[in-house]
Amino acid sequence: MDPKPGLKKSRWVSFFHQALPLTFVAGGLWAASDGALFGCWPIGLGAWFLAWCLRKQGFWPLIALCFSAFCGSALWTRHGLERPDRNLSENEGPILLEGQVQGREPGQYGPRVHLRNLILKSPDSYPALPPTLTVYLPNQSALPRVGSRFRAWVKLHRSSAPRPVWLPFQEHYQRWRPHVYGTVKDVRLIQVQSESKQLSQLSEANRQLLEVFWHGQASSIWRDRLNPFGLGHLLAISGLHCGLFYGLMQLILFGIRRPWVRMLLTASGLLLFAEWMGWSASVTRACLMLGAWQFLPFLNRSRQWIRLWWGFLFLFLVLDPIHYLSRGVWLSFVASLGVMLGHRPLEKSPLIHPLRYRLRWIPPILGAQCLVIPISWAFGCFASPGGFAWNLMGLGFLAVLLIQWVLVVLSLFFAPLQSLANWSDFWLAEALNTLAQTPQWGWVAQSVSPLCLLLVITAMALALWMGPREKRWFLAVLPLLLWAVFWGPKRGPGLYLLDVGQGQACLLVDPSGGAWLIDGGGKCPSGLDLARIVQLWGGQKLKGIFISHCNADHYNLIESIPKNVPIYVPHNQYARFHTNPLFESRLLVPVQQGWRTQVEGGQLEVMWPPAEADESPSLNETGLAIFCDWYGQNAWISGDCGRWAEHQWIKDPPPQVDLLVVGHHGSRSASAPAFLRWVQAKQAWISCGRENRFHHPHEETIRQLSLRGVPISTTAEAGTLSLPLALPP
């Protein structure tokens, strides 16, 4: 007879509550991250066998239920992700769409609007539409007013983010939910029910701020202002704003003494807030959880935030398993978990310093920040300890923005306040710009698979929950230290062609960590910039950048590069670079044919343009062409030079080229047969974006390279390309 059956039962129930949700999430992550479904069956059979062996210990129901949850979650997740009505494919022709304008903003390639509540008018056979859609309009289009009905013939396109580094969450998300955007070819294909309404003399920043808090519209100006501090999330109407709205309602309804009346009014207010803001995923989660939090006492249930969170998490994952790969879900979950685990009640004692009682709010925030660090590494490969301080001041930033918003609203009714609103916006922008100039430091680390991330968070949570008071913080930080050691930046030399979409960036890293960039344009994934990508590939100090020519797809990413790094540009395009605002206060060095610089293990030589050249048909033809001779291997990097420049090159003696970085992204305007015979490359790399609208690389370029037996690699298919180097002993 068991002497302590109650203790055994409580231990079993405790293990059940801890292990079952984790195995459920692990099964879903296994399937969402492309784990083989047949792998679930050996795991399940092994779990049942282990449960049978431990049947006398009383743990067999726990093991059986946990691994049944693992297998069931994996099967359901794969079924939900592979449903054809949720996976959009690019349509062949335009479709007639109608939707409500949620946001609008000017863009580099024309204005764009963000639509919600989409209705398909024609054709009827299209399987499904995304919940929201961004539509790019012709340049001469007027931006419709937020809230108006928008109707147009739209051509849908699939868009894929570049892969300069391994980001498994992003790759799996794009596989199951490819991003779709729309374009309108002509203004005559657009119908708007209500015309644009100008907001008098308010500045553009004030206009966008008005629509941020009134309609939940994205703001490009305020996003750029707050992103340096990691506070861009304050502009997205999310769970934080729902919590503030909930607290405001509690203050307003404080005088109502009947709890059920206060509960109904609070729940109704949350529903109206979510309806007005568009029922985004974050708003929906927050409103449902706060509403349930309000109802639990009337159901004679104790308020336990973590169980409530688990319940709604299961609901969302069952309805749409794509939430397994959503950064917002992970951030909201681990932040809530860190706040709860970081807090430990302090008993009144003369042995405890009174200051500890006053600072008892710091450990919960510190716990949330610790658990957010692995999320930042997994989704953005960068975590900054300064984010802890900025997040503490986040509510202060939000309060300032709300005060500015109230001033803007009042200025709509009292015209004299418009100048005051514009003046305060100017000084607020200056203050944020000054703060943004302060150096920010942090740690870069490579991403890990979803299951590894779950394991790290579980280990940190267990350390904060079960660890001794004196050691729990050290035990919680230990997984982060192991991550930084084993999945830190790459070490050692290498030559890389970074996947930056429809742009080009070639990186050379020497054994001591010095780095050289040849071009730096294109697109980076959300949360990453070019400087951090260089660090992830082992570049500890950037020594110089070569910009082949003055086209944005070859230089637009250098904004994150320190301004003391010299930038080498073609001498005949120096004036264009000098007048470009992006290169203001940067060190520009004009170079020409024959210019050389020594690097560790070799040299970089400029092969084009010459000091005096014939008139060329375009800027591309007078761009830089670089020859890299390094540790016994060499590469020819053509930039965007085309057949006109290639015709000049073949007049010189042929070089010995191991690697050819094909010119102009594999376009048919470059890589002439005569040039390919002259260069005699052993392999060829092509920098181009996945599903790019130019259809690079051209089939003629691929055919000419294949006829000569040259192996071809493209960033569109393989991501970042690397050349292995054998260092001399």
Q: What is the pLDDT of residue 6?
A: 47
Over residues 641-662, the mean pLDDT reads 90
Confidence tier at 727 by pLDDT (50, 70, 90): low
pLDDT reported for residue 7: 43
pLDDT average, residue stretch 53-82: 72
pLDDT category of residue 503 using cuts at 50, 70 and 90: very high
pLDDT digits (tens, 9 = 90+) for 247-273: 788 888 888 878 888 888 888 888 888
DSSP 120-145: EEE-TT-----SEEEEE--TTPPPPP
Structure confidence at residue 121 as a pLDDT band (50, 70, 90):
confident
3-state secondary structure 53-119: HCHHHCCHHHHHHHHHHHHHHHHHHHHHHCCCCCCCCCCCCCEEEEEEEEEEECCCCCCEEEEEEEE
Looking at the predicted structure, is the pLDDT value of residue 31 above 90? Answer: no
Give me the pLDDT at residue 39, please: 47
Q: What is the pLDDT of residue 46?
A: 55
| pLDDT tens column, 680-693 | 999 999 999 988 87
Residue 104 has pLDDT above 90, yes or no: no
Residue 195: pLDDT over 50: no
Percentage of the residues of the chain whose pLDDT score is greater than 70? 81
Rounded to whole angstroms, the Cα distance separating 490 from 483 reads: 13
Question: Which one, of 70, 323, 315, 282, lies nearest residue 173 by Cα?
Answer: 323
Give me the pLDDT at residue 607, please. Answer: 93
Residue among 227, 585, 220, 219 at smallest CA distance from 436: 227
Identify the pLDDT of residue 579.
92
Distance between CA atoms of 291 and 275, rounded to whole angstroms? 14
Report the pLDDT value the prediction gives residue 630, as an integer from 0 to 100. 84
User: Would you say residue 279 has pLDDT above 70?
Assistant: no
Mean pLDDT estimate for the chain: 81
Q: How many CB atoms lie within 10 A of CB 337?
A: 21
Q: In angstroms, how far apart are the furthest CA atoms of the chain?
A: 100
Alpha-carbon torsion angle 545, 547, 553, 556, nearest 10? 50
pLDDT at residue number 321: 85
**Cα separation, 41 vs 71, whole angstroms:** 7
Question: What is the reported pLDDT for 554?
Answer: 93
Q: Which residues are within 8 A (CB) of 286 and not within 5 positions of it... i.e. 6 or more apart?
A: 238, 239, 242, 243, 332
Please compute the mean of the pLDDT values over residues 405-426 and round it to a whole number: 85
Confidence at 60, pLDDT banded by 50, 70, 90: low
Res. 370: pLDDT tops 90? no
Cα–Cα distance measured from residue 208 to residue 218, given in angstroms and rounded to the nearest whole number: 8
The arithmetic mean of pLDDT across residues 333-339, rounded, is 80
Q: What is the pTM of this model?
A: 0.84
Q: What percent of the chain has pLDDT over 90?
A: 27
316 — alpha (psi -120 to 50), left (phi > 0) or beta? Answer: alpha
